[in-house]
Amino acid sequence: MTRLTTTEARREFSAIVNRAAFGKERLVVHRRGKDLVAVVPVEDLILLESLEDALDLEDARKALADPKNRKRIPWERVKSELGL
């Protein structure tokens, strides 16, 4: 995985996007040695999001199966408390 400073990333932004999009390369941008962001191919992002969704679904199923979670909260109350 390639690491670039923020200055390099700014200067070479177009090339970095092309490297990720067409070369399927993963690049990390850092400032003062601290990693800040990653530029990754969109396929990697889609995979990451699907993994997160699968984990969320697993957690939800576990919560629903737990007898301690049988107390239901009306949807209108949830919306009201969240200001929706």
* Terminal Cα distance for the chain, rounded: 42
Per-residue pLDDT, averaged over 27-55, amounts to 97
Q: What CATH number belongs to 2-40?
A: 3.40.1620.10
Q: In which band, very low, low, confident or very high, does the pLDDT at 65 lie, cut at 50, 70 and 90? A: confident
pLDDT confidence of 69, banded at 50, 70, 90?
Answer: confident
As a whole number, mean pLDDT of residues 42-46 equals 97
Q: Does position 25 have pLDDT exceeding 90, yes or no?
A: yes
Q: Name the pTM for this structure.
A: 0.69
Q: Residue 84 and residue 67: Cα distance in Å, rounded?
A: 28
Average pLDDT taken over every residue of the chain: 94
The residue ranges of every structural domain in the chain are 2-40, 43-82
